[in-house]
Structure 1
């Protein structure tokens, strides 16, 4: 059975495994301290989930905001990369110990997992993450996940824990993701606008939905915003995972949202296999290709990417890399495992199969990206 309503998030038959993401603006107060009493209500809700037979993974922000205050850094510790990393290394100790203390009050065990974007982009490490989380959950442990900001750089970081939560959900094959934030869902206009209306349900994130988002983090503490949450919803929905955005500012926020039916529920459009979900969730690439309209139509009919339809090659990718496929309007339409190095693709782009052997000096492969290794977006 699949999640169809917000109430289904507390049904262990429909939501056996739940990922809960908590942002910095909720977890950290204005003085840089943890909102311990508020967080205790979250732990009580997690305990209730476990008592119902659900498994819970927490994705918790807050390390940079906590550490920045302790180190007396300006701008929340985000003025420079070095200050952010220093803040994270200090704040993570407080954050982890707080989670451990509060969970132990309810006789639950916390496990800390610090991950980077690279850990999810590498297939072997991704599978290791999946196995570790599954083993922790089997042992009745609550994994508390955060981005490893002490070592992550601009090139190898998520930049927000919303997408991290969606990738964690993919890795552990969760049924649902709850993003706790400082607004009660997605609005068709800025929430402060007098004519703004909250969307109770979204079936598929479209360009129109993206246009409703505000890319900033209203609190100034976090690094996300509604745009990041919509990107997380796209990652989740391709793996068949429901995602909800709910207001987390009050005590017991999940119970309040479900009781009042507030928030925005994003229902999945499809349920890709584990490997396809991993390909579709990839965020870092060494290059890309652009294809013509004929190729786009062929891909929608379930065909592979052939060299004849490629009009542009970018980057320095190698055979076996995951790369994005763009149409001529620069819209990303697919991601897939490429069968050639970039230099060979550059040589054979726009050429038919009959011409490729003479160009390459050997028989060409059946496709540049085979349909079995291609995920349409």
Structure 2
């Protein structure tokens, strides 16, 4: 599987806060310069690179003289606003040394939850890559709230990998990779060189965040690998403190942990639906409808027993069985108020109930993904 990394043409590279800020001591300009040099080399090989970088809050904390991460949202946003200036400046200067232009992109989950904004972000990134620009992406911590935050940049890296259909996601961290147990607590823990991203045993092996500056931890990296695998992207987790880790990983060297994708990539629209961290509402289905979905059918209104939430046409909706378990999600052809009026009715009744009929299905099977 390492050979597939060597052949990959489009990569997403994610670097964590502990690396960018040298464990909170301030921006590590030497490390940033090293990543810029390595990415420039990969660009010379004909590869396209998108960089997802943490570090704005940590950099802002250092600039403001704070020694511990605050808990208040407004304080975190203020730190991000201060730190993002220095972070962008550092990257711009480092890449300019190699004749490369960078672009700063700040995202929230709302940017990828909305279908139109998702497509706009996808088009913008594609254009930047065509122009030879290195996009540098971070979560927009300056305006983020609990409702829209990704929660960690490992998740953001996976979402970006799916967004641009990258072949691999490289996560550089302050650990050497995934171990059989937390190496900080178990001296007998051994490094896992390679495994299937969808293998659920890895979640149990993952420990917590490595530093007070980091927000994720190994568990978020495992889940990011699972998410990236949905679009066929392999994930590499390795230490950013190794010598030239990007060059060595891209060359196929057995460094860190490779969690490879074994499932068939989803269509772009279904990737987008699968990547939703938040949903607009849900349909509860009767047993017959739940069974029909599992067999590849569309969701018809007659099979819906209840509608939860308030949403508009085109929203991503969860489909739940009678036990409340999500079995699918998809794009609703009707708003919540319309769905409530036609639920438990045959498709032939839609026009008489609403005065019009958009589609005979609540969710068409082409806009539906099983969970």
Q: TM-score of the superposition, structure 2-length normalised?
A: 0.88
Within 1, Cα distance between the matches of 2:60 and 2:220? 23
Choose which of 282, 297, 300 in structure 1 pairs with 2:291.
297
Q: Distance in 2 between matches of 1:283 and 1:311?
A: 24
The unaligned stretches of length 5 or more in structure 1 are: none
Q: Which of 142, 148, 167 is the matching residue for 2:134? A: 142
Distance 2:288 2:176 in 1: 42
* Residues 42, 247 of structure 2: 8 Å contact kept: no
Tell me, in whole angstroms, the C-alpha distance in 1 between the residues paired with 2:293 and 2:189.
38
Q: Is the 8 A contact 1:241 1:268 kept in 2?
A: no
Q: Distance in 2 between the 1:376 and 1:316 partners?
A: 22
Stretch moving more, 229-238 or 22-31: 229-238
CA distances 1:148-202 after superposition (whole Å, capped 9, x unpaired): 1111111122121112112222222222111112223334433333454444334
The answer to whether structure 1 residue 374 and structure 2 residue 365 are counterparts is: no
In 2, the alpha carbon distance for the partners of 1:292 and 1:207 equals 29
Distance change in 2, residues 1:71/1:337 (3 Å): same
**Residue 57 of structure 1 contacts residue 142 of structure 1 at CA under 8 Å; is this kept in 2?**
yes
Please provide the CA RMSD for this pair.
2.7
SS of match in other structure, 2:253: helix
Q: CA 1:184/1:359 → structure 2, altered by over 3 Å: closer, same or farther?
A: farther
Partner of 1:319: 313
Identify the range of structure 1 (89-98 vs 321-330) with the bigger mean alpha-carbon deviation.
Answer: 321-330
1:285 to 265, 279, 283: 279
Of residues 106-115 and 249-258 in structure 1, the stretch that sits farther from structure 2 once superposed is 249-258
Rate the CA distance shift 1:120–1:358 in 2: closer, same or farther, 3 A: closer
Measured at CA, do residues 306 and 21 of structure 1 come closer, stay the same or move farther in structure 2, by a change above 3 Å? same
- Structure 1 residues 164 and 311, CA gap change in structure 2 (3 angstroms): same
The answer for the alignment partner of 1:52 in structure 2 is: 45
Summarize the alignment of residues 157-306 of structure 1 with structure 2, pairs less than 5 Å apart: 157-191=149-183, 192-205=185-198, 207-214=200-207, 216-256=208-248, 258-306=252-300
CA contact (8 A) 1:322 1:338 kept: yes
Match in the other structure for 1:64: 57
Q: What's the counterpart of residue 29 of structure 2?
A: 36
Q: Extract unaligned runs of 5+ from structure 2.
A: none
Q: Secondary structure at the match of 2:216?
A: coil
Deviation at residue 145 of structure 1 after TM alignment? 0.9
Is the 1:287–1:316 contact (alpha carbons within 8 Å) kept by the matching residues of 2? Answer: yes
1:80-99 → structure 2 map (5 Å cutoff): 80-99=72-91
Matches of 1:288 and 1:109, distance apart in 2: 44
| Cα distance in 2 for residues equivalent to 1:43 and 1:107 | 10
**CA 1:8 to 1:170, structure 2 compared with 1: closer, same or farther past 3 Å?**
same
Which of 9, 12, 15 aligns to 1:16? It is 9
Greater mean deviation of Cα atoms: 291-300 or 177-186: 291-300
Shift of 1:346: 4.3
| Residue deviations 1:76-123 (CA, integer Å, cap 9, x gap) | 2x3211111111111011111111111112222221111221111122
Q: Select which of 122, 126, 134 maps to 1:130.
A: 122
Distance (Å, rounded) in 2 between the aligned partners of 1:207 and 1:355: 44
Q: CA deviation at 1:142?
A: 0.9
Aligned length: 367
Distance in 2 separating the partners of 1:212 and 1:328: 33
What residue is the counterpart of 2:2 in the other structure?
6
Give the 3 Å change call, closer, same or farther, for CA 358–48 of structure 1 in structure 2.
Answer: closer
With over 3 angstroms needed to count, the CA separation of the structure-2 counterparts of 1:6 and 1:254, relative to structure 1, is farther
For residues 154 and 171 of structure 1, do their structure 2 counterparts lie closer, same or farther at Cα, with a shift above 3 Å needed?
same
Q: 2:329 aligns with which of 322, 335, 343?
A: 335
